[in-house]
């Protein structure tokens, strides 16, 4: 589910402070070597070492030739000092005094790993960018199958404020809806192979849901034209099935939600198509692990912010970004409701309650976490064209933990 401004709302404008570039955000290749000179020796050090930030304040002392013009200047980390032999010979002997702020070695190591992953994104993009294929007409649903209330409405429903907390009967209905969603997703995964179109996957999923007496929840939700979301490669989420054939080496997220006996079951998984590269396999594996770590902290009384903390810690360890724009949500008799589940580090209030159901569905990227939406107002892709992966489960909060209702 999308949180805040998105393809159907005005985008928020960045504040001037967000547009400023800090030294710590610069690529490692942009940070120069500083030459530390003294009367006895010359030494070199990276301004951005594992223990020190590159926001150093430097001051030059007086030289034998009089006061240095730089003696009272605060030097930017981008200031270059003479490095060639001829330049060094022509420079007077100066002594540098450097004052640095100590930071966590782990924090710095994680930032450096993230920089390397961002650089490697270009190497992964060897195939042409995703292009929209032909979208076939909407599939019919028999009249005897109950529809969710939003079907036929021209706009997206508002996010419901009430939490989805169930009694024993409601829990039984949720288990049934989620079990069906898991079976449908498992079947959809068997169809993933080169040359198969996402439209063919949609038709097969639609038929299986209808035969089970359920309604495909995405169909008609805010005008969505298909029964399942299929998001390939750089598509973060909400991809519309079409005539594009899957290619060897693709990754594809299939997002299935069914509406059975008045309850929604929601789940998704990223599948590998053919021979997938090792970096993409790692992205998919870590994304699933992030979801599992988020689920592991859930129980009655636990704070929601623990989910984002665990997910972001694990993603950062491998240098992947966690998309902030899309969030988990309450699910039950209503498709999307409170609480909003953030997958990134946050300080949002709120605690889990026994009997409550909601989704955890992190999206990880190999490059930028920024995104753009196609003119269809649904398909959302990474801004830099880097690959993205997503996994999702609907869970039930219990007194001692969480029950995965959509277990694969």
Q: Are 407 and 175 contacting, i.e. CB atoms less than 8 angstroms apart? A: no
The DSSP symbol for 44 reads: E
Closest CA to 224 of 336, 369, 313, 331: 336
Q: Two tokens at 57?
A: 């304040």
Q: How far, in Å, CA of 280 to CA of 211, rounded?
A: 35
Q: Are 194 and 274 contacting, i.e. CB atoms less than 8 angstroms apart? A: yes
Question: Is there a binding annotation on residue 255?
Answer: yes
Question: Is there a binding annotation on residue 186?
Answer: no
Closest CA to 303 of 395, 218, 213, 397: 397
Q: How far, in Å, CA of 77 to CA of 23, rounded?
A: 7
Neighbouring CB atoms inside 10 A of 317's CB total 15
Q: How far, in Å, CA of 108 to CA of 74, rounded?
A: 24
Q: Cα 377 to the chain's mean position, in Å?
A: 19
Q: Are 253 and 238 contacting, i.e. CB atoms less than 8 angstroms apart? A: no
3-state secondary structure of 313: helix
- Please enumerate in sequence order all residues whose Cβ is within 8 A of that of 265, keeping only pairs 6 or more positions apart, or say none: 174, 176, 177, 178, 179, 180, 181, 182, 257, 258, 331, 394, 405, 406
**Helices 168-190 + 198-211 axis angle, to 10:** 140
Question: Is there a binding annotation on residue 87?
Answer: no
Q: How far, in Å, CA of 280 to CA of 147, rounded?
A: 38
Question: Is there a binding annotation on residue 343?
Answer: no
Question: Is there a binding annotation on residue 393?
Answer: no
The 3-state secondary structure of 46-63, one letter per residue: ECCCCCECCCCEEEECCE
**Helices 278-296 + 305-317 axis angle, to 10:** 150
Rounded to a whole number of angstroms, the distance between the first and last alpha carbons of the chain is 21
Q: State the DSSP H helix or E strand holding residue 296, giving kind and residue range, or none if neither.
A: helix 278-296
Closest CA to 245 of 391, 125, 381, 131: 131
Q: How far, in Å, CA of 207 to CA of 196, rounded?
A: 17
Q: State the DSSP H helix or E strand holding residue 359, giving kind and residue range, or none if neither.
A: strand 357-360
The DSSP symbol for 326 reads: B
Tell me the binding residues for a divalent metal cation: 255, 266, 329, 361, 392
Tell me the binding residues: 238, 255, 266, 329, 336, 361, 392
Tell me the binding residues for substrate: 238, 336
């Amino acid at each position: 589910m999308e949180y805040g401004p998105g393809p159907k709302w005005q985008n928020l404008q960045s504040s001037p402070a967000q547009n400023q570039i800090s030294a710590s955000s610069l690529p490692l290749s942009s940070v120069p070597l500083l030459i530390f000179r003294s009367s006895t020796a010359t030494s070199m050090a990276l301004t951005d070492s594992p223990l020190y930030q590159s926001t150093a304040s430097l001051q030059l002392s007086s030289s034998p030739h009089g006061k240095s013009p730089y003696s009272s200047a605060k030097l930017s980390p981008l200031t270059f000092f003479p490095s060639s032999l001829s330049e060094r010979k022509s420079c007077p002997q100066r002594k540098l005094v450097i004052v640095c702020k100590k930071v966590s070695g782990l924090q710095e190591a994680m930032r450096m790993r993230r920089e390397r992953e961002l650089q490697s994104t270009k190497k992964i993009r060897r195939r042409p960018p995703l292009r929209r294929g032909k979208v076939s007409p909407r599939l019919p649903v028999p009249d005897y199958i109950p529809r969710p209330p939003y079907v036929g409405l021209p706009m997206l429903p508002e996010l419901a404020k009430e939490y989805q907390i169930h009694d024993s009967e409601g829990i039984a209905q949720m288990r049934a809806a989620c079990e069906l969603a898991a079976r449908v997703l498992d079947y959809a995964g068997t169809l993933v192979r080169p040359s198969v179109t996402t439209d063919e996957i949609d038709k097969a999923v639609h038929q299986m849901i209808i035969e089970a007496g359920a309604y495909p929840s995405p169909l008609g939700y805010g005008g969505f034209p298909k029964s399942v979301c299929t998001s390939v490669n750089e598509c973060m989420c909400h991809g519309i099935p079409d005539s594009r054939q899957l290619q060897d080496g693709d990754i594809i997220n299939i997002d299935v939600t069914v509406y059975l006996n008045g309850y929604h079951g929601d789940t998704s998984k990223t599948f590998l198509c053919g021979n997938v590269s090792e970096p993409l396999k790692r992205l998919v594996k870590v994304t699933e692990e992030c979801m599992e770590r988020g689920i592991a902290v859930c129980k009655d009384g636990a704070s929601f912010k623990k989910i984002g903390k665990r997910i972001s810690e694990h993603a950062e360890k491998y240098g992947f970004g966690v998309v902030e724009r899309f969030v988990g949500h309450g699910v039950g008799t209503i498709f999307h409701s409170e609480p909003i589940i953030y997958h990134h580090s946050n300080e949002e209030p709120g605690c889990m309650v026994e009997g409550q159901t909601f989704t955890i569905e992190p999206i990880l990227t190999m490059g930028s976490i920024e995104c753009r939406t196609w003119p269809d107002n649904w398909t959302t892709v990474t801004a830099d064209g880097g690959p993205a992966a997503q996994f999702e489960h609907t869970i039930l909060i219990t007194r001692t933990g969480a029950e995965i209702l959509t277990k694969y």
